[in-house]
Amino acid sequence: MNLKEAIQDPIFTKISEAAQQLEQETYVVGGFVRDLLLKRNHKKDIDFVTVGSGIELALTSSVNLGKTSKVSVFKRFGTAMFKFNDVDLEFVGARKESYSEDSRKPHVEDGTIDDDQKRRDFTINSLAISLNKENFGELVDPFNGLEDLENQLIRTPLDPIITYSDDPLRMMRAIRFAAQLGFQIEEKSFKAIQENADRLKIVSFERVMDEFNKIMMTEKPSLGLKLLDDANLMQYILPELVALKGIEEIEGQKHKDNFYHTLEVVDNISENTDKLWLRWAALLHDIGKAVTKRFDKKIGWTFHSHEFVGSKMVYKLFKRLKLPLGTDMKYVQKLVMMSSRPIAVVADDATDSALRRLLFDANDDLEDLMILCKADITTKNEKKQKRYIRNFELVEQKIKDVEERDRIRNFQPPITGEQIMELYDLEPCKEIGIIKNAIKEAILEGEIENNYNSAYNYMLDLGKKLNLKSIKQ
């Protein structure tokens, strides 16, 4: 690739001019260079390193590019950034770093481009393109990063033991890049991750989860998830998932390995959704099985109520991992809790009442629940696989028929609390809740139709049983 031609965009030529004005060596570095050489879609952010003041270079470059909006300056870190044509441009002075044993926050001082490349996490991210007049467009590659790109290899510029011990988050990043790019981690480097796995404990869960979620959003998340386990990192992140590993046999009866089954389910669901939290629901759908596993001589292995137990585990798990505890967590909880519900209505004798309750409980998340259920089919028996898929398609048709008839989706009570209060001249009291809930149950059970008149007449009968007197004759 002719890099000089590839960086003729004004972003690079104007910043090169700014570097000349300031007499500062300047380079494009990091992910942009890597992706350019891989011919991947270039990122929407570009990093520049300069031997000197990154802030001064940003301010001068913004003028050269005709940038009128404010440049964001972070004096404490010696960095500055601004947006140009929807691309984030970040500028930093070249640095060299040293670390203490109990922190991943380095001691930083000014350095050369060589120092800056040494502190990069991987050789494929240490590549730089010169913006200097004398060698504009030249690749600066002291650690053979270009060769590693060609060989699809993740390798550290320096001794991996030091690299990962200094900043343990790099272990997560190594696995994330391997998963995203489909690369291998160098054997020496992977062994260093295994040996330093316990160092992950000094990294905040917020940073760990940022990398973990990027792994979850890859095309085939199992690649990264299995690497996390092989690298001894998963035990520090999701020990509940690790607890699902293994196959036990008693009296000739075995159960499946629920860890590897889970990885398959996550891959299956990732073929059909880019929703992060739906992928998380797949990851955690069997999380309660390790806790509920029992052997019964008559029926074999059981996991009674594992969905309920698993849904209860979600809150503590999300809280520990510093994941959002609002609607996203509740969504995952709900799908884990309901993950086996559609199976119950597969049978021919499944009642309309059961279908209505499934509709009512799933509500707006019904489609996602069905995607999860189909992803849960991991049997390698082709006949069984086709039968299970056909069963779920049948359930979807049954649900569609019931919904068209009974309008349970996004259920709104035909009779409101205010109408009950007006009819019986009541202040807020428990009887109102009793009547509303009884009407809802009657509709779900199919005792009355889902309309105002049926609900009103049913309410009058309830009122008599509760000794309430209507003020309307």
Domains of the chain, start order: 3-148 (3.30.460.10), 152-237 (1.10.110.30), 417-465 (no CATH)
pLDDT over 90 (residue 372): yes
Residue 214 in this model has a pLDDT that exceeds 90: yes
| E runs forming strands in 65-146 | 72-74, 79-84, 87-93, 95-98, 107-110, 128-130, 139-140
* 98: confidence class by pLDDT, cuts 50, 70, 90: low
Indicate if the pLDDT at residue 298 is higher than 60.
Answer: yes
Identity at 365, one-letter amino acid code: D
Query: What is the model's pTM?
Result: 0.84
Predicted local distance difference test score (pLDDT) of residue 70 = 84
- Name residue 110's beta-bridge partners: 95
Q: Which whole number is the average pLDDT over 222-232?
A: 97
Query: Is pLDDT larger for residue 425 or for residue 113?
Result: 113
Using only C-alpha atoms, the chain has a radius of gyration, in whole angstroms, of: 30
| Percent of the chain whose predicted confidence (pLDDT) is above 70 | 92
**Structure tokens of 300?**
């074999």
Query: Which of helix, strand or coil describes residue 185?
Result: strand
Average pLDDT, rounded, for the chain = 88
pLDDT tens by residue, 248-279: 767 666 677 899 999 999 999 999 999 999 99
Contact between 124 and 81 (Cβ < 8 Å): no
CA distance 15 to 61: 5
pLDDT tens digits, 129-184: 999 999 999 999 999 999 999 999 999 999 999 889 889 999 999 999 999 999 99
State both tokens at 199. Answer: 């160092």
Beta-bridge mates of residue 97: 108
Residue 99 banded pLDDT, cuts 50, 70, 90: low
User: Pick from 372, 364, 378, 407: which is nearest to 392 by CA?
Assistant: 372
Q: Is the pLDDT of residue 433 over 90?
A: no
- Residue 388 backbone phi and psi in degrees, to 5: -65, -45
How close are the terminal C-alpha atoms of the chain, in Å? 88
385 vs 43, higher pLDDT: 385
Residue 108 to residues 60, 95, 422, 460, Cα–Cα distance (Å):
24, 6, 71, 77
Distance CA 364, CA 275 (A): 15
Per-residue model confidence (pLDDT) at position 345: 75
Q: How far apart are CA 329 and CA 331, in angstroms?
A: 5
- Choice between 401 and 46, residue whose per-residue pLDDT is larger: 46
Distance of CA 7 to the CA centre of its chain: 34
Tokens of 460: 């009058």
Query: Measured between alpha carbons, how far is 91 from 80 in angstroms, rounded to an integer?
Result: 5
Q: Average pLDDT for residues 382-397, to the nearest whole number?
A: 81
User: 473 pLDDT band (50/70/90 cuts)?
Assistant: very low
